[in-house]
Structure 1
Amino acid sequence: MTVVSILVEHKSKGKDLDKAYSQALDYFSGLKERDLPNYVIVSDFENFRLYDLDEDQEHDFNINDFYKNIKFFGFIARYQKRRSCKHKSG
């Protein structure tokens, strides 16, 4: 079973999420390679930014739109990502 880990950095409302992300990355230096997170979330409790480090993707959204972005948190329930694949017919 693959272990998925996440690092979360919360800041006060209105604080710079870029700085919060930079601070989260600073924690990596104290971790062993095998313990590095797959995901980083930074938040000021109104705005959220989810970084999928394996896929090199970033998702930004406001708390009011959290429900529209819940699909990006499937890893918490161990849902696997689906990739679309085009098949040639004929």
Structure 2
Amino acid sequence: MNERFSASGLMNPFFPDEVSFGDKGVTFKVRKLFKSNDNFVFYTDISGVEIESGIFFSTIRIIPRMRPEIIINNFTKGDAKKVKQLILDKVQA
């Protein structure tokens, strides 16, 4: 399973956040103007996924075990729901 989701280009057209699914875990790329953070989390290390929805876009909050939470912004509501469902399917498997 090698799916990839990118945040909307409307809010941050040059540096959108990304979520990439692999066989063993998920990579979260949080981009800023002069830096980016790549966080890889094994599916077994994820204890929860939360979505905070606004009018147009959603924020996805990943809660790993023994690490600070990872926050990725500006995803469409549909993509946020897909990301959450894919993570939960892998965590429960």
Structure with more helix by fraction = 1
Larger Rg: 1
Report the TM range for the smaller structure's normalisation: 0.3 to 0.5
Q: Could you state the TM-score of these two structures normalised by the residue count of structure 1?
A: 0.37
